[in-house]
Structure 1
Amino acid sequence: MNDLTVLYIAGYGRSGSTVLDVLLGGHPRVVSVGELVFLGSDWQSEDRKCACEEPYENCPFWKGLFKDSREVNSLERVVRDIEHRHALPRLLFDAHSEEEKRDYRRRTRKLFKYIAQQGRADLVVDSSKSGRQAAGRFWALKNIAGLDVRVLHLVRDGRAALRSVVEKGSNWALEGHIDEKRWLGTQTTVGWVLANTIAWRLGRSLGSDRYYRVKFEDLLRAPEETLREIGDFVGVGLEPVIQRVARDEVFEVGHNVGGNRIRHRRQIRLEKTDMPNPHPWSDLNSHHQILFAAFGQWLNTALGYEW
């Protein structure tokens, strides 16, 4: 475990984390596994599968992780009790019992050791981000599990993230696992603000050597430069990935958990563009323009997105 590093992609959904996760997984020293926070719940659900389209208990990557369903249930319980947003005050004030922390440490370290061995890698990419169920995840991985965690805060113009959700719907609803929520625009705006605020505040408290912020738009405009910066941050030369992106190659999706539904395409190519979001307000109707201007643009501006 001393040689293992976790690159944690923090932030909010619809910000390109699945694409970046898969790109990084194209490096021989890196294994990308998607949104690990959902592993337990997905494993228990009959209609949710690994990105390879196999049920987790049959997947060649994951099937050796758990002995029985009780281990799956235990991982799901301990993750929910420590990493969920409702547990964030207890986590930050170190209010969990020693027994709870030992259980979390044991199960989490076992999980990451298994992933590293299966992927024959010393860098694991976990793109669970910082939504409701994973608000405290990177903090717990570092401060309770004792893992070497580097937080990559991936941000996207909140207006583009909002437009993506209200036009297309949430990923889980699109995949048929839940009914679409009411007030989707309001929930998305609030969720975007909370997730990015948590990622920013907690991430920066770890120090500049463990927190780095990247714009998804920069990855689309200047992928080679952006990937080089990420490699410098995490201490892995990403030239093999950079060269493949420069050649416009496709990247195979591995055995990712959760994430954007594009993971089911099995192959992903980075779609470069010089102008990812030239007219951000025009893509929203008047209701969502007012909503985001009132509640989200203050953070959008702080993250470097002009009015």
Structure 2
Amino acid sequence: MDDLSILYIAGYGRSGSTVLDVLLSGHPRVASVGELVFLGNDWQDEDRKCACGEPYENCLFWEGLFKDEGEVDSLEQIVRDVEHRHVLPKLLLGAHSEEKKREYRRRTRRLFEYISQQGRADLVVDSSKSARQAAGRFWALKNIAGLDVRVLHLVRDGRAALRSVVEKGSNWALEGHIEEKRWLGARTTMGWVLANAIAWGLGRSLGNDLYHRVKFEDLLRAPEETLREIGGFVGVGLEPVIQRVARDEVFEVGHNVGGNRIRHKQQIHLRKTDTPNPHPWSGLDRHHQILFATLGQWMNQKLGYSW
């Protein structure tokens, strides 16, 4: 564990984390495994499978992680008790019992050690982000589990993220796991604001050496330059990945947990573009334009997106 580092992708969904996760997995010493916060929950649901298409208990990568269902239950419970947004104040105040902290530390370190060994990796990428279930995850991994965590805050113009959800629906609803909830536009906008505010606030408190913000639009516009920037931040030379992107290669999806449904395509191709979002308000009807302008644009501007 002394040689293992965690790159935590923070922020909100529909911001390109699945794409970046899969790109990073193209490095031979990097294990990118998606949204680990959902591992226990997904393992227990027979309708949810690893990105390879197999149930987790039958997946060649994950099958050796748990001895029985009791261990799955314990991981899912301790993650919910420590990382969820509704217990974030308790986490930040250090108010969890010492017993709970020890249990969290033991189970999360065991998880990352397993992933490192399976993937023969020095760097594990966890793209759980910072929405409701994982609001305090990177903070807990660093300050309770004692892991070497670097936070990459991946942002995308909130209008594009909102448009994606409004036009297509939420990922879990699209995959048939839940019914689509009411007030989707308002819920998405507020969720986007909260997730990015938490990622920014907690991330910056760690210091510049451990927190870095990158725009998804920059990854599409200048992928080689952006990947070098990420590699410099985490201390890993990403040239093998950069060269593959420059050759316009496809990247195999490995054994990701959760994430955008594109993970089920088994292969991902980075679609480069010089103008990722030339008309940011287009695609949103008048109602959603007013909604985002009122509730979300203030945060959008703080993240570097103009009107």
Scaled by the length of structure 1, the TM-score of the pair is 1.00
Q: C-alpha distance in 2, partners of 1:54/1:267?
A: 16
Give the aligned residue type for 1:283.
G
Q: Give the whole-Å Cα distance in 1 for the aligned partners of 2:55 and 2:215.
A: 34
2:9 counterpart residue number: 9
CA separation in 1, counterparts of 2:53 and 2:283? 34
- Unaligned 5+ segments in structure 2 are none
Map of 2:201 onto structure 1: 201
Asked if residue 280 in structure 1 is aligned to residue 306 in structure 2, the reply is no
Deviations 1:169-197 (A, max 9, x none): 00000001101111000000000000000
How many Å separate the matches in 2 of 1:228 and 1:149? 19
Which structure 2 residues correspond to residues 229-240 of structure 1 after superposition, within 5 A? 229-240=229-240
Partner of 2:188: 188
The superposition leaves residues 35-89 of structure 1 with CA deviations (integer Å, 9 ceiling, x where unpaired) of: 0000000000010000000000000000000000000000000000000000100
Aligned to 1:148: 148
In the alignment, the residues of structure 1 paired with residue 94 and residue 195 of structure 2 have an alpha-carbon distance, to the nearest angstrom, of 21
Q: Percent identity?
A: 84
Partner of 1:160: 160
Tell whether 2:19 aligns with 1:25: no
1:249 paired to 2:253: no
Matched residue, 1:220: 220
Say what the alpha-carbon RMSD is for the aligned residues: 0.3
TM superposition shift of 1:230: 0.1
Partner of 1:45: 45
Unaligned 5+ segments in structure 1 are: none
1:211 maps to 2:211: yes
C-alpha separation between the residues in 1 aligned to 2:119 and 2:135?
Answer: 26
- What SS class does the counterpart of residue 212 from structure 1 fall into? strand
Question: Which residue number corresponds to residue 135 of structure 1?
Answer: 135
**Secondary structure, counterpart of 1:65 in structure 2:** coil
Structure 2 residue 48 is the aligned partner of structure 1 residue 57? no
Moved over 3 A (4+): none
Q: 1:199 is matched by which residue type in structure 2?
A: A
Q: Counterpart in 2 of 1:173?
A: 173
Q: Secondary structure at the residue paired with 2:227?
A: helix
Instruction: In structure 2, give the amino acid aligned to 1:14.
Output: R
Aligned residue type for 1:57: E
Q: Distance in 2 between matches of 1:45 and 1:66?
A: 15
Deviation at 1:282, TM superposition (A): 1.8
Distance 2:233 2:105 in 1: 25
AA in 2 matched with 1:36: L
Q: Report the CA distance between 1:251 and its aligned residue.
A: 0.4
> What secondary structure is seen at the aligned counterpart in 2 of 1:9?
strand
Q: Which residue type is aligned with residue 124 of structure 1?
A: V
Amino acid at match of 1:88: L
SS in 1 for 2:8: strand
In structure 2, distance between residues paired with 1:301 and 1:58: 46
For the residue of structure 1 that corresponds to 2:56, the secondary structure is coil
Q: Deviations over 1:227-256 (max 9, x none)?
A: 000000000000000000000000000000
Aligned partners of 2:72 and 2:243: how far apart in 1? Answer: 39
Q: Which residue number in structure 1 is paired with residue 94 of structure 2?
A: 94
Deviation, structure 1 residue 3: 0.2
Instruction: Give the counterpart letter for 1:253 in structure 2.
Output: V
Q: Distance in 2 between matches of 1:33 and 1:142?
A: 18
Once residues 58 and 95 of structure 2 are traced to their aligned partners in structure 1, the CA distance between those partners, rounded to angstroms, is 38
C-alpha deviation, 1:6, in angstroms: 0.3
SS at match of 1:258: coil
Q: Secondary structure of 2:111's match? A: helix
Shift of 1:283: 1.6
Aligned equivalents of 1:197 and 1:39: distance in 2?
25
Q: How many residue pairs were aligned? A: 307
CA distance in 2, matches of 1:86, 1:288: 27
What is residue 260 of structure 1 aligned with on the other side? 260
Letter in 2 for 1:15: S
